[in-house]
Amino acid sequence: MTLGIRPPSEPRDPFSNELQHSFSFHLLQLSTSAVYESPDSRTLGFAGWNLSQSLEVNEDSGSSAAFNRARQWLSHCVQHDQACKPPDTEFMPRRLVNVGSWEGSREPFLFEPTTPVPYACLSYCWGIDIDRVMKTTTDNIHSHYQRLELATLPAAIQDAIVVCRALKISNLWVDSLCIIQDDKVAWLHDASTMHDVYRNSHLTIAVMEPNSCKLRFLGKQQFGDPSWQRLFCPTLPDLPEDTSTELLMRPGEFKPRSNTERSSLDKRGWCLQESLLPNRRLCYDGKEMIWECLCRQVCECGHVVEPQIPYDTSKDYGKLGTTLKTHLPEAEPPFDRMNGFLFRHCSPPMILYFGWRDLVTDYSHRSLSKRYDALRAISALAKMVQIRLPEKDGSPDEYVAGLWKGELHFDLSWEVKPVDAHDVPPSTGLEDDNETSYRIPSWSWASVGKPITYSFTEAFRIWKYEPEAIDRCQIKVIDCKREVPEDPTSAVIGGSLVLQGAFAPVQLVSDNERKVAYVQSTGAQTLPISLDSPALVANGDDQYYCFRLFTLVGYNYGRFRMGPETRFLVLKRSTYKEGAFERIGVGVWDDNFGEKKPCPLFVDVEPAAVEMV
């Protein structure tokens, strides 16, 4: 909305463009309830438009008014949303922090619950500087059972305890305090139960900002500044008595969050599963408070609720929890909103497989502090997907190094996403001295530590006729060494695949200046490829090969209409296992001329059994 202003002494011409001043602003109806829905029959009509609702943003997230609002959000969900209840009422984390007395006269302490109790989880960024940050270790765990001096805890954990006390939640789960940090065996065991810890929490407190546990997240809020929002009450006739006429005016340059504006929390690898697994989240980002659950999203400024912004400004990965955790109709269906046409005709297993690849793509853009956390930090989500996938021959689909056996031909076709010059690549983390013998297989996306994508899914989005995969490779052997042998979604520390399929020798040509690479077959056919390491220089002494994964074609009434589009891996001989091969890239051949010819690399090529490490 734009308002034009002229001096009152001048003639009033409503159609004149000669205005001395004009400015843009957002106009919203002040909601009378902390838990509001929009649009509805009570939305205020004004000048031919329906005004979106909003709350008056609290100036300080640590104020009594802010805590009262958070209590209203939580109590409304507890009372009305059956879908958001913790699924396992008997689950108990190994350890919890008792937050002490509500008024603070008794200090927090660590304890091991013997009966199920409600608890909150904390999702936050540790930060780079973690020196002198209190953690539970084998040396201090017994003293932590006696007392955790509040003043010595990191500022973010202090604030989380304040929130729990204000919301009357007696117990808090924090990874740094509830998991012994210097006992590798105990750490791996507790990390493997993280899916249960977060999904069974009464509430998860998500600290979107700041990016360090040494900084407080409670305090002044940007959107709560009185200069940012103005409350006024216009005179409007013929409105129902219980309809609020209070309006909020906010700056026109205000823009909601977008995909490119990730919070500090959403840049961390571990925090993806922490954002998806809980049924309820109370988020703090320094601008406002946000409520998320399986049934609704509400924020103080109103932009999360329709129709304030177009839907595609942010991908709602948080709703994945609906598909993974519940069949209840009260929860809002996720993927049909997220991806539209892609999932319109898909079966539930396909939705989960496509959803997993979307999550992996998002996850690959996030940073890790430890190199081999790449598969650990997504293991909990893999557990949730595995539970929901249909069993075959009485066994669940096998999870192998970030991929699924049931769709291995698709999952192997990941490609490294080119990074723009202005993009900051994610941190892949450091390698621990005791993990030097670990090796993530080259065929896993987790081995490259770079943003990846699955471009083959575009065929499912844009082809007129539904794609079908043919010429698929066959799985002969999967041999992965799991870090936690008894955990089926554990990270792997080594592994190999033996696949049967078309296998062709090629020459590799790379141009580092232009950042392009090609493979050339014995028949002189040249095809562009995507290298996993763009800096790779073709070595004349090395032998290179292409291995066909699958071909997509589209049929209509039995007739071949679309494609073929063939995906293949680029391999070289392994430097550490004789007779095996390592992945170095991926390629695609598309018959752009409509001649419907097969990929020339694999014409008259005999299938072979190929081991990949």
Number of domains present in the structure of the chain:
3
CA count, 13 A, side-chain hemisphere, 524: 0
- With H, G, I as helix, E, B as strand and everything else as coil, classify residue 316: coil
pLDDT for 592 beyond 60: yes
pLDDT, average across residues 576-598: 87
Contact 442/582 with Cβ under 8 angstroms? yes
188 and 204 share one domain: yes
Q: What is the dihedral of CA 526, 527, 533, 538, to 10 degrees?
A: -10
* Domain presence at residue 423: yes
pTM of the model: 0.84
Residue 444: Cβ-neighbour burial (10 angstroms; 0-12, 13-18, 19+): buried
* Domain presence at residue 61: no
Q: Which of 523, 559, 357, 374 is nearest to 448 (CA)?
A: 374
DSSP symbol at 477:
E
When comparing pLDDT for 520 and 38, which is higher?
520
193 and 278 share one domain: yes
Mean pLDDT rounded to a whole number for the chain = 84
* Domain presence at residue 491: yes
Work out the pLDDT band at 593, boundaries 50, 70, 90.
low
100 and 119 share one domain: yes
What local confidence, expressed as pLDDT, does residue 40 receive? 46
Structure tokens at 332: 């809002």
pLDDT for 329 beyond 90: no
345 and 461 share one domain: no
Contact 202/167 with Cβ under 8 angstroms? no
Work out the pLDDT band at 347, boundaries 50, 70, 90.
low
- Sign of the Cα pseudo-torsion (473, 603, 586, 461, in order): negative
Q: Among the three residues 297, 327, 356, which one is the final residue of a domain in this structure?
A: 356
Cis ω on the peptide bond leading into residue 307 (within 30° of 0)? yes
Report d(CA 336, CA 353) in Å as an integer.
Answer: 14
Alpha carbon separation from 251 to 5, 24, 124, 266, 307 (Å, rounded):
16, 7, 30, 26, 18
H helix or E strand, kind and range, residue 249: strand 247-251
Quick: pLDDT tens for 499-515.
Answer: 999 999 999 988 777 77
What percentage of residues in the chain have a pLDDT greater than 90? 56
Work out the pLDDT band at 535, boundaries 50, 70, 90.
confident
Radius of gyration (Cα) for the chain, nearest Å?
Answer: 28
Q: Among the three residues 356, 385, 415, which one is the final residue of a domain in this structure?
A: 356
pLDDT, average across residues 410-427: 84
Domain that holds residue 10: 2-55+226-251
Contact 109/146 with Cβ under 8 angstroms? yes
Structure tokens at 414: 């990941």
- What residue has token string 């799985």? 475
75 and 175 share one domain: yes
389 and 466 share one domain: yes
What local confidence, expressed as pLDDT, does residue 10 receive? 55
Q: Among the three residues 298, 321, 356, which one is the final residue of a domain in this structure?
A: 356
449 and 423 share one domain: yes
* Domain presence at residue 478: yes
Q: Which of 584, 550, 537 is nearest to 469 (CA)?
A: 550
Structure tokens at 143: 């003293």
pLDDT for 26 beyond 90: no
Cα distance from N-terminal residue to C-terminal residue, the chain? 59
Residue 571's DSSP bridge partners are 545, 583
Do β-strands 559-573 and 171-173 pair in parallel, antiparallel, or remain unpaired?
unpaired
Quick: pLDDT tens for 286-325.
Answer: 999 999 999 888 888 876 543 333 233 234 444 455 555 5
- Rounded to 5 degrees, φ, ψ at 99 are -80, 0
What local confidence, expressed as pLDDT, does residue 461 receive? 83
Work out the pLDDT band at 148, boundaries 50, 70, 90.
very high
CB neighbour list of residue 508: distance below 8 Å, 6 or more residues apart = 517, 518, 519, 538, 542, 544, 570
Report d(CA 31, CA 301) in Å as an integer.
Answer: 11
Report d(CA 165, CA 177) in Å as an integer.
Answer: 18
H helix or E strand, kind and range, residue 556: strand 544-556
CB neighbour list of residue 356: distance below 8 Å, 6 or more residues apart = 381, 385, 404
What local confidence, expressed as pLDDT, does residue 415 receive? 97
Alpha carbon separation from 14 to 1, 6, 25, 283 (Å, rounded):
15, 11, 19, 45
What local confidence, expressed as pLDDT, does residue 237 receive? 64
* Domain presence at residue 163: yes
Q: DSSP characters for 406-453? A: GGHHHHTT-EEPPPPTT--PPP--BPPGGGTT----TTSGGGT-S-EE
pLDDT, average across residues 438-463: 93
- With H, G, I as helix, E, B as strand and everything else as coil, classify residue 104: coil
* Domain presence at residue 361: no
388 and 337 share one domain: no
Contact 145/107 with Cβ under 8 angstroms? no
Least confident interval from 47-51, 277-281, 292-296, 367-371: 47-51
pLDDT, average across residues 397-421: 93
Note the helical H segments in 200-309: 270-276
603 and 569 share one domain: yes
Work out the pLDDT band at 338, boundaries 50, 70, 90.
very low
* Domain presence at residue 33: yes
325 and 189 share one domain: yes
Residue 230's DSSP bridge partners are 249
What is the residue type of 19?
A: L
Q: Which of 116, 111, 61, 114 is nearest to 85 (CA)?
A: 116
Least confident interval from 150-154, 182-186, 418-422, 609-613: 418-422
- With H, G, I as helix, E, B as strand and everything else as coil, classify residue 516: strand
241 and 153 share one domain: no
Structure tokens at 26: 């957002």
Do β-strands 120-123 and 171-173 pair in parallel, antiparallel, or remain unpaired?
parallel
314 and 284 share one domain: yes
* Domain presence at residue 365: no
Do β-strands 467-470 and 452-453 pair in parallel, antiparallel, or remain unpaired?
unpaired
Contact 314/329 with Cβ under 8 angstroms? no
Contact 330/81 with Cβ under 8 angstroms? yes
